[in-house]
């Protein structure tokens, strides 16, 4: 049985996201990082770092797409193709361009670093 990371949506965890399991996608160590930081904040930190594959032990899956897997935690009933559309490039308060994906089903926005 595989488990899904509640931070990044990676759905191939061998163990539940607890008891010091480390997600190879976002690098969250459950029981440590999430002890003092919310899942949402951990997710935003991962996105701000570029949503890169973090494991140096577990190889990144072929055709891995961090933005598509994020939709598993944003709205598990839908896929990115059915739910999200690229909206536009937006300037943040620091004038950093980001691409915004918007969920029409839940009104959630995910901002992706350019």
Neighbour tally for 66: CB within 10 Å: 19
pLDDT single digits (tens) 38-96: 998 999 899 888 899 999 999 999 988 898 888 878 765 544 444 444 433 344 445 45
- Tell me the per-residue pLDDT of 80-113, one tens digit each, with 9 for 90 and over: 444 444 433 344 445 454 555 544 444 455 555 4
- pTM value? 0.67
| Residue 110, pLDDT score | 53
pLDDT, residue 74, reads: 73
Residue 17, pLDDT score: 93
Q: Report the alpha-carbon distance of residue 7 to residue 72 in Å, rounded.
A: 10
99: tokens are 């691409």
Helix, strand or coil for residue 67?
helix
Contact 74, 67 (CB under 8 A): no
pLDDT at residue number 92: 47
Q: What local confidence, expressed as pLDDT, does residue 42 receive?
A: 92
User: DSSP class of residue 96?
Assistant: -
Tokens 């980001």 locate to: 98
């Amino acid at each position: 049985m595989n488990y899904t990371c509640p931070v990044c949506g990676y759905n191939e965890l061998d163990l539940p996201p607890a008891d010091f399991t480390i997600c190879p996608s976002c690098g969250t160590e459950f029981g440590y990082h999430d002890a003092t930081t919310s899942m949402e904040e951990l997710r935003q930190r991962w996105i701000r770092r570029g949503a890169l594959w973090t494991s140096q032990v577990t190889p990144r899956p072929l055709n891995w797409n961090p933005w598509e897997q994020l939709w598993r935690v944003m709205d598990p009933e839908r896929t990115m193709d059915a739910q999200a559309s690229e909206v536009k490039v937006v300037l943040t308060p620091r004038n950093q361009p980001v691409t915004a994906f918007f969920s029409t089903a839940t009104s959630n926005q995910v901002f992706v670093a350019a």
